Amino acid sequence: MVLETNRLLLLPMTIDFIDGIIDGDKKAYSLLNIKPSEEWPSEEIFSFLPMIKKNLLQKKEPTGFDSWIFIDKFDLCIVGDGGFKGEPTENGGIDLGYGIVKSKRRNGYAYEAVSELIRWAFSQPNVKYITADCLNENEPSIKLLEKLGMKKIKIEDELSYFILEKMFSSPY
């Protein structure tokens, strides 16, 4: 499964890819026909890779409701990652997360990638709404979530929480 935008390819992370990244094996990138990036994986995403792998092992292969990498079509390097934190709940909810490597921020990559993830998610019949959260101090991410049509539903401690409901005539 590959999603495509004007500038990006979105590829689901696989078990073999994650194993290679965890082991520091640069050949992992060639599994997906992409190039290594000096900025990816960040320490944060690296710390989540074992959990992502554990979830994939239960399913045997990516379902789309897992983690994706965002690839720049021009140079085939990773500009970020994101995705969903598991299958939809009974009520049809999924939780979204994303990150862009520092040198590629403020160039529209997050909007482009996350818009495509939302479009894909709302094309799935069992998805009714998408949630996301971010640090209150992360103004660029807050603006992005609002630009995507997400509504802030609460602020708690250091986090702002957002929701986007699937509409019958959703632009996604």
Q: What are phi and psi of 9, to 5 degrees?
A: -110, 135
pLDDT at 53 over 80: yes
Mean pLDDT of 57-77: 91
* pLDDT for the residue 172: 54
Whether the pLDDT of residue 32 is over 80: the answer is yes
Specify the residue for token string 């965890």.
22
Q: What is the pTM of this model?
A: 0.90
Please tell me the distance from the alpha carbon of residue 66 to that of residue 154, in angstroms, as a whole number.
25
Three-state SS at 121: helix
Strand order in the sheet with 78-84: 3-4, 8-12, 67-72, 78-84, 93-100, 129-135, 159-165, 151-156
pLDDT at 17 over 70: yes
- Is the separation of the CB atoms in 79 and 67 below 8 Å? no
Task: Output the six-digit token pair for 9.
Answer: 């390819």
- pLDDT score, position 151: 96
